Amino acid sequence: MATFDVRFLGCKVSHLDAQDVRARLLADGHTERADGDVAIVNTCCVTHEALSKSRQAATRAARTHRRVYLTGCAANLEGDALAGLPQNVIVVRRPSEDTPDAVAADVGALGCVNDVARLERVRAFVKIQDGCSFSCSFCVIPLVRGATRSRSADAVLREVRRRVEQGHPEVVLTGINLGCFRDRAAGYDLPRLVRAVGSTPGLARLRLSSIEINHVNDALVEALRETPTVSRHLHVPLQSGDDAVLRAMRRRYTSATYLRKLEPLAADFNLTSDVIVGFPTEDEAAFERTLATVEGAGLSRVHVFPYSPRPGTVTAADDRVPPAAKKERGVRLRALSDELERRRWRSKLGARDSVLVDRPGRGYGDDYTPFLVDAPVGELVEVRATSIAAEGIRAVAA
């Protein structure tokens, strides 16, 4: 029997992939321990910085573990991105669905002794889809994760039921491009899946991790609005508010489309987004248009990513915006994001909300607004918003 520990870098999908390896090793009878023989490092390569952090994590783990399995997006990069790692680091170059078996076979399976492990977090992320068949010019994800493919609706619904039975009050449907989810044989698309998952007995809250604007349509909005457990939060990547930059990014929408589709949602949904600053064709005027789009769309928070050329992509050799300009645009966009967020928080003062406490003293309201509350971790508590702090809204029991 081996002892192991698992860590991940990057997004929720990376977290889930790491959890799949963890569940598989536990099911095989291995033991999770911080100072294990074996480390699993599920990596990220979405930016140059993420790749270098992934390399560092594997190198650090190699000093304290007999064997390190480097899995995930960076493991699937072509070329010499992972050259020079310590000899006890094994790079597992596999699609995410094959990775747990590949790692387990190498660690040495002992036969099934445990049921599927409960996730470590209060909310359960459930993967419904992986990969992406689009080709945004800056994005390495289709190259390392492959084309889109979906789990069956039945498998998703069974996993959601199991997570609820294990005590997870909230489920987050997660994937690389959620709107591409399809189970053609069973007749499911994302709106139907939302309705079915949202009706799971005992489930308190359901969220989507993110959705592309091209997939925001009437059927989905109706499913979100008509399913009582669905959280009023949508994360909709913008990437740029300038049409020429969007075209160069090959994003397949205009800023007007983005604004038109979100406009009816801004009144009752908390809308958040991702934006890349310093894309090669982004000049100052284009960046100003992004600021205007962010404000016009009613977004409450923007995750800002400085552009970083990724190997194998259309723009791999183009990084012409100087680092100082990227930094300055990042600072301005983050300042706008902070201002918009505080504006939304202020509008909630005095109001009631249901907060799922996911860490000591902290949790998220029904629309994914962060709250500071004094209640046990894992509980869903009714609160009243009293004042604003740097990290969220302070609240007391209602």
Options 130-138, 152-160, 284-292, 343-351: segment touching ligand SF4 (CB under 6 A): 130-138
Nearer to ligand SF4, 10 or 169 (CB): 10
Nearer to ligand SF4, 95 or 370 (CB): 95
User: Around Cβ 33, how many Cβ atoms within 10 Å?
Assistant: 12
Nearer to ligand SF4, 142 or 278 (CB): 142
Q: Please report whether residue 134 would count as binding ligand SF4 according to CB under 6 A.
A: yes
Among 102, 132, 223, 277, binds ligand SF4 (CB under 6 A): 132
State residue 243 phi and psi, 5-degree precision. -65, -35
Q: At what angle do helices 99-107 and 12-27 cross, to 10 degrees?
A: 40
Say if residues 295 and 393 touch (Cβ distance below 8 Å): no
Rounded Cα–Cα distance for residues 80 and 66 (Å): 24
Among 142, 191, 241, 365, binds ligand SF4 (CB under 6 A): 142
Number of residues that bind ligand SF4 (CB under 6 A): 10
For the chain, the residue count is: 398
Nearer to ligand SF4, 38 or 132 (CB): 132
164-193: contacts with ligand SF4 (CB under 6 A) = 176-177
Fill in the DSSP letter of residue 47: S
Among 68, 136, 164, 383, binds ligand SF4 (CB under 6 A): 136
CA nearest to 332, candidates 298, 368, 296, 295: 295
Options 131-139, 194-202, 216-224, 372-380: segment touching ligand SF4 (CB under 6 A): 131-139
Nearer to ligand SF4, 75 or 381 (CB): 75
The 3-class secondary structure across 248-285, one letter per residue, is: HHCCCCCHHHHHHHHHHHCCCCEEEEEEEECCCCCCHH
Q: Please report whether residue 153 would count as binding ligand SF4 according to CB under 6 A.
A: no
Options 8-16, 76-84, 133-141, 224-232: segment touching ligand SF4 (CB under 6 A): 133-141
Among 25, 41, 139, 302, binds ligand SF4 (CB under 6 A): 139
359-398: contacts with ligand SF4 (CB under 6 A) = none
Q: Please report whether residue 77 would count as binding ligand SF4 according to CB under 6 A.
A: no
Nearer to ligand SF4, 169 or 241 (CB): 241
Would you state the structure tokens that stand for residue 371, as one six-digit string?
């709250």
Question: From residue 7 to residue 46, what is the string marking binding to ligand SF4 with x (rule CB under 6 A)?
Answer: ----------------------------------------
Gyration radius of the chain over CA positions: 21
Say if residues 126 and 173 touch (Cβ distance below 8 Å): yes
Nearer to ligand SF4, 82 or 176 (CB): 176
- Who contacts 237 (Cβ-Cβ below 8 Å, separation ≥6)? 210, 212, 213, 273, 274
Among 141, 194, 223, 373, binds ligand SF4 (CB under 6 A): 141
Residue spans of beta strands (DSSP E) within the chain: 3-8, 31-32, 38-43, 67-72, 89-91, 124-127, 129-130, 149-150, 170-174, 182-183, 188-189, 205-208, 233-235, 270-277, 299-306, 352-359, 362-364, 370-372, 380-388, 393-397
Q: Please report whether residue 238 would count as binding ligand SF4 according to CB under 6 A.
A: no
Nearer to ligand SF4, 102 or 176 (CB): 176
200-229: contacts with ligand SF4 (CB under 6 A) = 212
Rounded Cα–Cα distance for residues 233 and 266 (Å): 10
> Distance between terminal CA atoms of the chain?
50
Nearer to ligand SF4, 14 or 369 (CB): 14
Residue spans of beta strands (DSSP E) within 67-143: 67-72, 89-91, 124-127, 129-130
Options 17-25, 132-140, 194-202, 300-308: segment touching ligand SF4 (CB under 6 A): 132-140
Nearer to ligand SF4, 147 or 377 (CB): 147
Binding site for ligand SF4 (CB under 6 A): 132, 134-136, 139, 141-142, 176-177, 212
